[in-house]
Amino acid sequence: MLINREIEWKIKKLRQKSFEHANKSGKLLAWQLKKRKELNTINKIEVEGEVKSNPKEIRKAFLDFYRGLYKNSEKNNLRKIEKYLKGKNIQKIPLLEKESLNALIETDEIKEIIKDLKKGKAPGPDGFTGSYYKEMETILLIPLQEVMNNILKERELPETWKEALITLIPKQHSDLQQVKNYRPISLLNLDYKIFAGILARRLKKILIKSIHKDQAGFLPGRYMKDNIRNVVNIIEYLSDRCDKQAMLLFVDAEKAFDNLIWDFMLKQLEFMEVGTKFYNGVKAIYTEQKAKLIINGVETSEMRIAKGTRQGCPLSPLLFIMVLEVLLNSIRGNRGIKGISVGQNEYKTKAFADDLVITMEDPINSTKEVLEEFDQFGKVAGFKVNKKKTKIIVKNMETDKVEELQNATEIEVTRKVKYLGIWVTSKNMDLFKNNYETTWKGVKKDIETWGRLKMSFWGRIATIKMSVLPKMLFLFQNIPVIRGLKIFKEWQKVISKFIWQGKKPRIQFKLLTDVKERGGFALPDLKLYYEASCLCWVKTWIKLEDKEVLDLEGFNTRFGWHAYLWHGKRKAHRGFENHIFRGSLIEVWERNKDLLEPKTPHWLSPLEVMSVKKINMGDNWPTYEQLLTKEEGKWKLKPYDQIKEKVYDWLHYFQLNGMFRKDFTDKGYTDKESRFQIEILNNNHRILSKMYNQLLGWNLIDEEVKSVAIHWARDIGHNIYAEEWEKLWKTHLKFTACVSLKENLMKMFYRWYLTPVKLAKMYGTCNKCWKCREREGSFFHMWWECQKVKEFWEGVYNELKKILRYTFVKKPEAFLLGLVGREIKKKDHRFFQYATSAGRILIAQNWKSENMPTIEEWRAKLLEYAEMDKMTGKIRYSKDQRFIEEWENFTNYLENLSEGQITLVGFKGAL
C-alpha cells in the first residue's frame, strides 16, 4: 500500500512552515490541518446517480473518468491542422536563437536546474527528492547528461519518464461525491523534470520575445495585475466615451490545458522551424504518456494519456501559451473584430494563461467573428469555449441591442464577473464594495473565529500575517482604488482588538509594526502595504515606458505625466483625479512624494512636463540624468551640441534650461539617485516588499524622535512640547547655510556623541567624566552639568548679556538645542543660534580632552561665523540690511572689548 505522498508532503510542509514562521500559532494550524485531513479521504462517490462506497468501485469511477478525459478522440486530423496553420503566418525562429535552442545539453545547465530544485518539494514516483539530486550531483551529472542528449539525438525517452502518479485534491466548497470536483496533481520523476526544465529555460528566452505582451502568464516580467489594470481602464475609458457601444468578453475555456491536441502543438513547432534536437525533445515527451491514480493511498491500474499538456512538467505551460498565441494572433489580425480604439491604439485581447478577455467595439459583429475564430482554432487545437461560463459585460448599449447580442451569441450578458479573482462590473465605482467590503467581511468573520481559539499574543500576530495580509494585499496590488485614510483606521481597529483580545493595548500599534531587529513585532501595517502597492503602480507614470498602458490610463489627461507628478498639475486639472486609478494613486504619491524624493530627481523628464499632450505618446523624452552634467561641483545643462538630438531647436533648449533653473531653485537637484530610484524604479525584483520597508522605516522615524525627546525631557527636568521640537526642525535648523552647524544641531538632538558612560558599556572602559574625572560622564553631564563645562557656559552667558545688552534666563535647552522663546528678542534669534553653536562646536572639538575651550576661542569662532554669514549674504545682496541688524551688537561689543587692539579689517567696513 502506498501512502498519498503529495498530501503527506503538503502536511509536512505546512508543519515545517508553522515551525519556521509562526511557531506560536500552532492552534490555528492544527485546526486547519484537521480540516484538511478530513477532506482528503474519499469515502463516497456518485456514479450515474448511484452512491458507491466500496473502495474498488470508487477507484474504478475515478479511473473511468480520467481515461475518458485524457483520451484523444480526434484522429487523422493532421491535414486539417496543416491547412489551418498555413493560413496563420506562423513566425519562424531566428537563426541565432535556433542554435541555442538546439545545442547539446551542457553539465552547467543541469547544475543550474538542480541548484533551483526546492528541498522541501515532494519526490517523484521513484521516491527521489531534490535533496537527493543536490547531494549526489557529482555522481549523477554525467549519466544524466548522456541520457538527455540521447533524447535530443534519438528521440527516445526512458520508460520511467513516461509515467506519472496522479493524486487528487478536493476542490473547496464543492460536492465531494462528484469525481469532477477533485483536482488532479501529477507527480513526475525529478530527473525528467530536470530535462524538461532545461528545455523550458531555452524556450522561455524565445517566447519572451515572440509572444505578445498581452499574454501575461508564465513569462518573466509579466503580471496578472496588468490585465486587471487594462480591463478596469477600459471600463473607465468607455464610461467617458458613451458614444462607443462596446463589450468585454470573459472567456471560459473548458479544461484548456488538458484538451490540447499534441499533433497541433508538434505541427506548430515544425512551422516555427524550431530545429531537430529541440523538436525531438518535445516529441519524445508527447508521444507516449502513462499514469496511475492514487486514491486513499492505493494505486490504480495504468491508463494512457493522449492529449493535453503534461501536468507538473515545467515545459508544459510554455507550450500551452505558445499554442494559444496562434489563436490570439489570429484575433489580433482579424479586421472584422474591432478592438477598443484610443487614438491609434487598439485594445483587443488580454490573456493570463488560458484566461482570456476580449474587448470590442461593434459588439454584435465583432463577437460573431471572435466565436468563429474560437471554433476554427478549437477544431484543430482542442480548444473548447464553455459558453455557459463565458460572460459578457456591456457598455453604452441599449437594451434591445443587448438582447440581440445575447441571442446571437448564446452567451449571457451579466452585471458582475469574477475576473482573475476580482469582481468586475460595468461601473468601476463598484470595485470597492464588491471586493474590499466583501473580502473584509470574510476576514472579520475569520478573526472572530480565531479570537475564540485562545492563541498566544505571537500566534495572533502571525495569524494576521499569514491569513489576513495575503487577502488584502491581493486587492491592494490588483485594484488600488482606495481614497482617503478612514478605512485603514477601521481595519486597524479590528486587528488591534483581536491582538489585544479586546483589552487596552499595551504597545502602540505603530511599534508593533516595526521589524523584529529593532524590537518590533513585524505586524503588517495594511495602510503602508496599500501605499507601497500604489507606489509600485506609479512607477509606470514615472518610467514612461509602457505606452499602451499610459495612453489608455491617460486618455483624457491634459498634461504630461511628469507634470502631474512633479509640478502639481493636479490642481490645474481637477479632472485628472476623476479616474478610478489616477485619483487614488496621485493621492498616495503626494502623501509620500517628499519622503521619496526630497529634491528634484534624476528620473524627471522636463520635456514630458513641458510638452503638449497628445493622445498617443510617441516621443521618448530624455530625463535630467541624460540632460545634465556636473561641472566644478555644479549641475548644469549639457551644451546644445551634445543634446541637440533630444530637443527640437534652440528655443526648446532655452526653455529646458529655464525649467531646470526653476526646479533647481524650488527644490534643489539631488546629487545621488534616491533609494526610491535605486530600489524601485531601476529594479524589478521584490519591489513591493522593498517599498513597504522604505515606508515602514519613515513611518517609524517619529518613534525614534519621541524616544530621544523623552531623554531630553528627563535631563532638562521638564517636558518639551511637540510644537517646540517642530520649530527646531522647521526654523532653527535653517538659520544657517553652514552644513557643519546644522549637523551639530542634529547630533545634539539625537545625542550622537559617545560619552564615557556609553563607551564603558560598550568596551568596559572607565565611565568617569574626562573633564572633572569625578562624576559619571553621562550625556547631560558632559554637555551641561560638569563643573568645568558649567563654567564655560557661564562665561558665554555673561558675554551674551553684554552683547545683547539685556538679561535672560540661562536654560540648557537654549544653549544645547537652540530652543529659545521670548526671552531672546526675535531680531537676535539668529545671532543667538550662532553664538551657542560656536560654544557647542568648541566643546565637541575638545570632546575627549580634559581641557575646556576659552572665551577668547569662542569669540574668535563667532567672528568666523559672522564673516561667513556676511560672505553668503554678500552673494545675494549688495547691502544686507538684515545682516547689519543681526551682527551690529556683536561688532560694537568687539570694538569696545579690544579698545582698538582688535582690527576688524573688511568686516566693520562692510557694515
CA distances from 611 to 79, 306, 562, 838 (A): 56, 59, 10, 50
Nearer to Zn ion among residue 278 and residue 783 (C-beta) = 783
In the complex, the smallest distance separating the C-beta of residue 809 from Zn ion, rounded to whole angstroms, is 23
Alpha-carbon radius of gyration of the chain: 36
Q: For residue 858, how many C-alpha atoms fall within 13 Å in the half-sphere facing its CB?
A: 23
Find residue 351's DSSP bridge partners.
215, 356
Is residue 595 within 8 A of residue 698, CB to CB? The reply is yes
Residue 26 CB: number of other CB atoms within 10 A?
Answer: 17
Nearer to Zn ion among residue 449 and residue 845 (C-beta) = 845
Nearest to 286 by CA among 313, 262, 260, 312: 262
Which 3-state string (H, E, C) describes 357-419?
A: EEEEECHHHHHHHHHHHHHHHHHHHCCCECCCCCEEEEECCCHHHHHHHHHHHCCEECCEEEE
Residues 6+ apart with CB under 8 A from 171: 181, 182, 183
Q: Cα-flanking dihedrals φ and ψ of residue 250, to 5°?
A: -100, 105
Long-range contacts of 618-623 (CB under 8 A, 24+ apart): 620/544, 621/544, 621/560, 621/646, 622/646
Please give the Cα distance from 894 to 437 (Å, whole number): 72
Please give the Cα distance from 576 to 573 (Å, whole number): 6
Nearer to Zn ion among residue 445 and residue 788 (C-beta) = 788
Nearer to Zn ion among residue 646 and residue 775 (C-beta) = 775
In the complex, the smallest distance separating the C-beta of residue 758 from Zn ion, rounded to whole angstroms, is 15
Nearer to Zn ion among residue 595 and residue 760 (C-beta) = 760
Please give the Cα distance from 445 to 558 (Å, whole number): 45
In the complex, the smallest distance separating the C-beta of residue 754 from Zn ion, rounded to whole angstroms, is 16
In the complex, the smallest distance separating the C-beta of residue 747 from Zn ion, rounded to whole angstroms, is 20
Nearer to Zn ion among residue 372 and residue 850 (C-beta) = 850
Nearer to Zn ion among residue 188 and residue 769 (C-beta) = 769
Nearer to Zn ion among residue 198 and residue 786 (C-beta) = 786
In the complex, the smallest distance separating the C-beta of residue 764 from Zn ion, rounded to whole angstroms, is 20
Q: For residue 879, how many C-alpha atoms fall within 13 Å in the half-sphere facing its CB?
A: 2
Is residue 799 within 8 A of residue 775, CB to CB? The reply is no
In the complex, the smallest distance separating the C-beta of residue 712 from Zn ion, rounded to whole angstroms, is 19
Nearer to Zn ion among residue 605 and residue 778 (C-beta) = 778
In the complex, the smallest distance separating the C-beta of residue 589 from Zn ion, rounded to whole angstroms, is 51
Nearer to Zn ion among residue 408 and residue 772 (C-beta) = 772
Nearest to 401 by CA among 430, 365, 450: 365
Phi-psi region of 224 (alpha: psi -120 to 50; beta: other; left: phi over 0): alpha
Residues within the interface to Zn ion (CB under 5 A): 769, 771-772, 775, 786
Nearer to Zn ion among residue 318 and residue 769 (C-beta) = 769
Is residue 210 within 8 A of residue 166, CB to CB? The reply is no
In the complex, the smallest distance separating the C-beta of residue 769 from Zn ion, rounded to whole angstroms, is 3
Nearest to 121 by CA among 9, 18, 8: 9
In the complex, the smallest distance separating the C-beta of residue 852 from Zn ion, rounded to whole angstroms, is 10
Instruction: Report which DSSP code applies to 676.
Output: I
Please give the Cα distance from 23 to 15 (Å, whole number): 9
Please give the Cα distance from 609 to 572 (Å, whole number): 13
In the complex, the smallest distance separating the C-beta of residue 857 from Zn ion, rounded to whole angstroms, is 19
Q: Cα-flanking dihedrals φ and ψ of residue 737, to 5°?
A: -85, -10
Please give the Cα distance from 332 to 327 (Å, whole number): 9
Give the N- to C-terminal CA distance of the chain in Å, as an integer: 102
Find residue 635's DSSP bridge partners.
630
In the complex, the smallest distance separating the C-beta of residue 509 from Zn ion, rounded to whole angstroms, is 42
CA distances from 626 to 565, 601, 607, 629 (A): 19, 12, 12, 8
In the complex, the smallest distance separating the C-beta of residue 768 from Zn ion, rounded to whole angstroms, is 8
Please give the Cα distance from 797 to 809 (Å, whole number): 9
Residues 6+ apart with CB under 8 A from 16: 120
Nearer to Zn ion among residue 648 and residue 847 (C-beta) = 847
In the complex, the smallest distance separating the C-beta of residue 784 from Zn ion, rounded to whole angstroms, is 10
Nearer to Zn ion among residue 387 and residue 775 (C-beta) = 775
In the complex, the smallest distance separating the C-beta of residue 770 from Zn ion, rounded to whole angstroms, is 8
In the complex, the smallest distance separating the C-beta of residue 746 from Zn ion, rounded to whole angstroms, is 24
Instruction: Report which DSSP code applies to 681.
Output: I
In the complex, the smallest distance separating the C-beta of residue 786 from Zn ion, rounded to whole angstroms, is 3
Nearer to Zn ion among residue 36 and residue 775 (C-beta) = 775
Supply 778's cell numbers.
Answer: 553621562
Nearer to Zn ion among residue 122 and residue 786 (C-beta) = 786
Nearer to Zn ion among residue 310 and residue 771 (C-beta) = 771
Nearer to Zn ion among residue 99 and residue 850 (C-beta) = 850
In the complex, the smallest distance separating the C-beta of residue 767 from Zn ion, rounded to whole angstroms, is 11
Q: Got the DSSP string for 492-517?
A: HHHHHHHHTTTSPPSS-HHHHTS-GG
CA distances from 909 to 130, 685, 769, 815, 830 (A): 84, 62, 44, 31, 21
Nearer to Zn ion among residue 771 and residue 840 (C-beta) = 771
Supply 37's cell numbers.
Answer: 485531513
Please give the Cα distance from 269 to 780 (Å, whole number): 78
In the complex, the smallest distance separating the C-beta of residue 779 from Zn ion, rounded to whole angstroms, is 12
Please give the Cα distance from 724 to 813 (Å, whole number): 11
Is residue 819 within 8 A of residue 836, CB to CB? The reply is no
